[in-house]
Structure 1
Protein backbone atom coordinates (compact mmCIF):
# COMPACT_ATOMS: atom_id res chain seq x y z
CA UNK A 1 0.00 0.00 0.00
CA UNK A 2 1.26 3.44 -0.93
CA UNK A 3 -0.10 6.62 0.64
CA UNK A 4 0.02 10.02 -0.97
CA UNK A 5 -0.71 13.22 0.88
CA UNK A 6 -2.59 15.67 -1.32
CA UNK A 7 -3.12 19.26 -0.24
CA UNK A 8 -5.69 21.59 -1.76
CA UNK A 9 -6.63 25.13 -0.73
CA UNK A 10 -9.76 24.13 1.16
CA UNK A 11 -9.18 20.55 2.29
CA UNK A 12 -6.63 17.90 3.09
CA UNK A 13 -7.00 14.22 2.31
CA UNK A 14 -4.94 11.09 1.97
CA UNK A 15 -5.23 8.96 -1.14
CA UNK A 16 -4.50 5.27 -0.70
CA UNK A 17 -3.45 3.12 -3.60
CA UNK A 18 -3.53 -0.63 -3.38
CA UNK A 19 -1.26 -2.57 -5.69
CA UNK A 20 -1.31 -6.24 -6.63
CA UNK A 21 2.42 -6.22 -5.84
CA UNK A 22 4.67 -3.80 -4.04
CA UNK A 23 5.75 -0.80 -6.14
CA UNK A 24 8.99 -1.48 -7.97
CA UNK A 25 8.54 -5.26 -7.85
CA UNK A 26 8.12 -6.81 -11.27
CA UNK A 27 5.43 -9.49 -11.36
CA UNK A 28 5.14 -11.77 -14.36
CA UNK A 29 1.74 -13.15 -15.34
CA UNK A 30 2.03 -16.90 -15.77
CA UNK A 31 0.13 -18.06 -18.81
CA UNK A 32 -1.09 -21.57 -18.23
CA UNK A 33 -3.51 -21.51 -21.16
CA UNK A 34 -3.26 -20.28 -24.75
CA UNK A 35 -4.58 -16.72 -25.16
CA UNK A 36 -7.15 -15.81 -27.82
CA UNK A 37 -8.44 -12.34 -28.76
CA UNK A 38 -12.13 -12.17 -29.75
CA UNK A 39 -14.00 -9.21 -31.19
CA UNK A 40 -17.69 -8.67 -31.88
CA UNK A 41 -18.01 -6.35 -34.87
CA UNK A 42 -21.11 -5.77 -36.96
CA UNK A 43 -24.02 -3.52 -37.85
CA UNK A 44 -25.95 -1.56 -35.22
CA UNK A 45 -28.69 -3.53 -33.39
CA UNK A 46 -27.49 -6.92 -34.61
CA UNK A 47 -26.84 -8.27 -31.10
CA UNK A 48 -23.10 -7.81 -30.53
CA UNK A 49 -23.39 -6.74 -26.90
CA UNK A 50 -26.22 -9.22 -26.27
CA UNK A 51 -23.99 -12.02 -27.57
CA UNK A 52 -21.11 -10.84 -25.37
CA UNK A 53 -23.40 -10.88 -22.34
CA UNK A 54 -24.74 -14.33 -23.24
CA UNK A 55 -21.21 -15.73 -23.48
CA UNK A 56 -20.41 -14.50 -19.97
CA UNK A 57 -23.71 -15.90 -18.65
CA UNK A 58 -23.03 -19.40 -19.99
CA UNK A 59 -19.44 -19.38 -18.73
CA UNK A 60 -20.52 -17.98 -15.34
CA UNK A 61 -22.80 -21.00 -14.89
CA UNK A 62 -19.67 -23.13 -15.30
CA UNK A 63 -17.70 -20.87 -12.88
CA UNK A 64 -15.35 -19.78 -15.67
CA UNK A 65 -16.32 -16.09 -15.90
CA UNK A 66 -18.19 -13.32 -14.12
CA UNK A 67 -21.63 -12.74 -15.62
CA UNK A 68 -21.97 -9.25 -17.09
CA UNK A 69 -25.46 -8.03 -17.93
CA UNK A 70 -26.05 -5.94 -21.05
CA UNK A 71 -26.20 -2.73 -19.02
CA UNK A 72 -22.93 -3.59 -17.27
CA UNK A 73 -21.14 -3.91 -20.61
CA UNK A 74 -22.68 -0.68 -21.99
CA UNK A 75 -22.26 1.20 -18.73
CA UNK A 76 -21.76 4.82 -19.86
CA UNK A 77 -24.78 7.07 -19.23
CA UNK A 78 -24.87 8.11 -22.91
CA UNK A 79 -24.93 4.44 -23.96
CA UNK A 80 -27.83 3.69 -21.62
CA UNK A 81 -29.76 6.76 -22.73
CA UNK A 82 -29.36 6.09 -26.48
CA UNK A 83 -29.41 2.31 -26.30
CA UNK A 84 -26.34 1.95 -28.53
CA UNK A 85 -22.72 1.08 -27.81
CA UNK A 86 -20.47 4.14 -28.08
CA UNK A 87 -17.16 2.88 -26.67
CA UNK A 88 -15.52 -0.51 -27.02
CA UNK A 89 -15.95 -2.73 -23.97
CA UNK A 90 -13.30 -5.16 -22.77
CA UNK A 91 -14.26 -8.53 -21.28
CA UNK A 92 -12.13 -11.43 -20.08
CA UNK A 93 -13.12 -15.03 -19.55
CA UNK A 94 -11.68 -18.53 -19.61
CA UNK A 95 -12.66 -21.99 -20.68
CA UNK A 96 -10.98 -25.20 -19.63
CA UNK A 97 -8.59 -24.89 -22.58
CA UNK A 98 -8.12 -21.15 -23.30
CA UNK A 99 -8.04 -17.61 -21.88
CA UNK A 100 -10.03 -15.04 -23.89
CA UNK A 101 -9.81 -11.26 -24.20
CA UNK A 102 -13.08 -10.11 -25.79
CA UNK A 103 -13.65 -6.64 -27.23
CA UNK A 104 -17.25 -5.59 -27.90
CA UNK A 105 -17.10 -2.85 -30.56
CA UNK A 106 -19.79 -0.29 -31.43
CA UNK A 107 -21.70 -0.77 -34.68
CA UNK A 108 -23.32 2.64 -35.22
CA UNK A 109 -21.85 4.61 -38.14
CA UNK A 110 -21.31 7.69 -35.94
CA UNK A 111 -18.92 5.71 -33.72
CA UNK A 112 -16.91 3.93 -36.41
CA UNK A 113 -13.70 5.58 -35.12
CA UNK A 114 -14.28 3.92 -31.73
CA UNK A 115 -14.91 0.60 -33.48
CA UNK A 116 -11.63 0.85 -35.39
CA UNK A 117 -9.77 1.65 -32.16
CA UNK A 118 -11.32 -1.40 -30.51
CA UNK A 119 -10.56 -3.61 -33.49
CA UNK A 120 -6.93 -2.43 -33.51
CA UNK A 121 -6.57 -3.83 -29.99
CA UNK A 122 -7.31 -7.28 -31.36
CA UNK A 123 -4.14 -7.30 -33.43
Structure 2
Protein backbone atom coordinates (compact mmCIF):
# COMPACT_ATOMS: atom_id res chain seq x y z
CA UNK A 1 0.00 0.00 0.00
CA UNK A 2 2.88 2.37 0.72
CA UNK A 3 4.18 1.84 -2.80
CA UNK A 4 0.89 2.94 -4.33
CA UNK A 5 0.69 5.94 -2.06
CA UNK A 6 4.28 6.92 -2.92
CA UNK A 7 3.48 7.02 -6.62
CA UNK A 8 -0.04 8.29 -6.03
CA UNK A 9 -1.55 5.25 -7.71
CA UNK A 10 -4.66 5.10 -5.62
CA UNK A 11 -8.18 3.95 -6.10
CA UNK A 12 -10.86 6.60 -6.42
CA UNK A 13 -14.59 6.15 -6.65
CA UNK A 14 -14.87 9.06 -9.05
CA UNK A 15 -14.10 8.09 -12.67
CA UNK A 16 -13.13 11.65 -13.58
CA UNK A 17 -10.34 11.67 -10.99
CA UNK A 18 -9.07 8.29 -12.23
CA UNK A 19 -9.09 9.55 -15.80
CA UNK A 20 -7.17 12.70 -14.90
CA UNK A 21 -4.62 10.70 -12.93
CA UNK A 22 -4.03 8.27 -15.81
CA UNK A 23 -3.82 11.17 -18.24
CA UNK A 24 -1.10 12.76 -16.09
CA UNK A 25 0.86 9.50 -16.08
CA UNK A 26 0.49 9.17 -19.83
CA UNK A 27 1.76 12.71 -20.39
CA UNK A 28 4.71 12.12 -18.06
CA UNK A 29 5.64 8.93 -19.91
CA UNK A 30 5.38 10.69 -23.26
CA UNK A 31 7.64 13.52 -22.05
CA UNK A 32 10.23 11.00 -20.85
CA UNK A 33 10.12 9.23 -24.22
CA UNK A 34 10.55 12.53 -26.10
CA UNK A 35 13.47 13.55 -23.88
CA UNK A 36 15.10 10.15 -24.49
CA UNK A 37 14.63 10.56 -28.25
CA UNK A 38 16.12 14.07 -28.15
CA UNK A 39 19.08 12.74 -26.15
CA UNK A 40 19.64 10.00 -28.72
CA UNK A 41 19.44 12.45 -31.60
CA UNK A 42 21.77 15.03 -30.08
CA UNK A 43 24.37 12.76 -28.51
CA UNK A 44 24.21 9.87 -30.93
CA UNK A 45 23.75 11.55 -34.29
CA UNK A 46 24.78 15.20 -34.07
CA UNK A 47 27.63 14.99 -31.54
CA UNK A 48 28.68 11.49 -32.68
CA UNK A 49 29.27 10.28 -29.13
CA UNK A 50 29.99 6.62 -28.43
CA UNK A 51 27.10 4.23 -28.01
CA UNK A 52 27.83 3.79 -24.30
CA UNK A 53 26.90 7.43 -23.61
CA UNK A 54 23.38 7.28 -24.99
CA UNK A 55 22.49 3.61 -24.59
CA UNK A 56 20.37 4.24 -21.47
CA UNK A 57 18.19 6.72 -23.36
CA UNK A 58 17.84 4.17 -26.14
CA UNK A 59 16.82 1.47 -23.67
CA UNK A 60 14.25 3.78 -22.04
CA UNK A 61 12.77 4.62 -25.43
CA UNK A 62 12.56 0.96 -26.46
CA UNK A 63 10.94 0.01 -23.13
CA UNK A 64 8.39 2.81 -23.56
CA UNK A 65 7.55 1.73 -27.12
CA UNK A 66 7.23 -1.95 -26.15
CA UNK A 67 5.12 -1.13 -23.09
CA UNK A 68 2.72 1.06 -25.07
CA UNK A 69 2.45 -1.58 -27.77
CA UNK A 70 1.69 -4.36 -25.29
CA UNK A 71 -0.87 -2.24 -23.42
CA UNK A 72 -2.68 -1.30 -26.61
CA UNK A 73 -2.67 -4.88 -27.85
CA UNK A 74 -3.92 -6.39 -24.60
CA UNK A 75 -6.62 -3.74 -24.10
CA UNK A 76 -7.73 -3.80 -27.78
CA UNK A 77 -7.10 -0.10 -28.10
CA UNK A 78 -6.69 0.57 -31.77
CA UNK A 79 -8.44 2.75 -34.26
CA UNK A 80 -9.82 -0.31 -36.03
CA UNK A 81 -11.52 -1.57 -32.88
CA UNK A 82 -12.91 1.81 -31.88
CA UNK A 83 -14.30 2.94 -35.26
CA UNK A 84 -17.96 2.75 -36.12
CA UNK A 85 -19.05 0.72 -39.15
CA UNK A 86 -19.53 3.82 -41.36
CA UNK A 87 -16.11 5.14 -40.39
CA UNK A 88 -14.53 1.78 -41.26
CA UNK A 89 -16.15 1.88 -44.72
CA UNK A 90 -14.94 5.44 -45.28
CA UNK A 91 -11.41 4.50 -44.22
CA UNK A 92 -11.46 1.48 -46.53
CA UNK A 93 -12.51 3.67 -49.46
CA UNK A 94 -9.71 6.15 -48.69
CA UNK A 95 -7.12 3.37 -48.51
CA UNK A 96 -8.35 1.85 -51.78
CA UNK A 97 -8.24 5.22 -53.57
CA UNK A 98 -4.68 5.87 -52.36
CA UNK A 99 -3.60 2.40 -53.51
CA UNK A 100 -5.23 2.86 -56.93
CA UNK A 101 -3.64 6.29 -57.38
CA UNK A 102 -0.18 4.91 -56.59
CA UNK A 103 -0.66 2.03 -59.04
CA UNK A 104 -1.87 4.43 -61.76
CA UNK A 105 1.10 6.72 -61.09
CA UNK A 106 3.54 3.82 -61.37
CA UNK A 107 1.92 2.68 -64.63
CA UNK A 108 2.04 6.23 -66.01
CA UNK A 109 5.68 6.56 -65.05
CA UNK A 110 6.70 3.22 -66.58
CA UNK A 111 4.45 3.02 -69.66
CA UNK A 112 3.94 6.62 -70.79
CA UNK A 113 7.19 8.24 -69.64
CA UNK A 114 9.32 5.12 -70.06
CA UNK A 115 11.26 5.71 -66.83
CA UNK A 116 11.96 3.61 -63.76
CA UNK A 117 9.38 3.27 -61.01
CA UNK A 118 11.66 5.06 -58.53
CA UNK A 119 12.60 8.63 -59.47
CA UNK A 120 16.24 9.71 -59.53
CA UNK A 121 17.40 13.23 -58.80
CA UNK A 122 15.81 16.05 -56.85
CA UNK A 123 13.83 17.46 -59.78
CA UNK A 124 12.33 14.07 -60.58
CA UNK A 125 11.37 13.50 -56.92
CA UNK A 126 9.68 16.91 -56.66
CA UNK A 127 7.80 16.27 -59.90
CA UNK A 128 6.71 12.81 -58.74
CA UNK A 129 5.48 14.05 -55.36
CA UNK A 130 3.61 16.90 -57.04
CA UNK A 131 1.91 14.48 -59.42
CA UNK A 132 0.94 12.16 -56.56
CA UNK A 133 -0.55 15.08 -54.61
CA UNK A 134 -2.60 16.18 -57.59
Q: Could you tell me the TM-score, scaled by structure 2's length?
A: 0.24
Work out which of the two has the higher radius of gyration on C-alpha atoms and give 1 or 2.
2
**Which structure carries more helix by proportion?**
2
TM-score (norm 1): 0.26
Higher strand share: 1
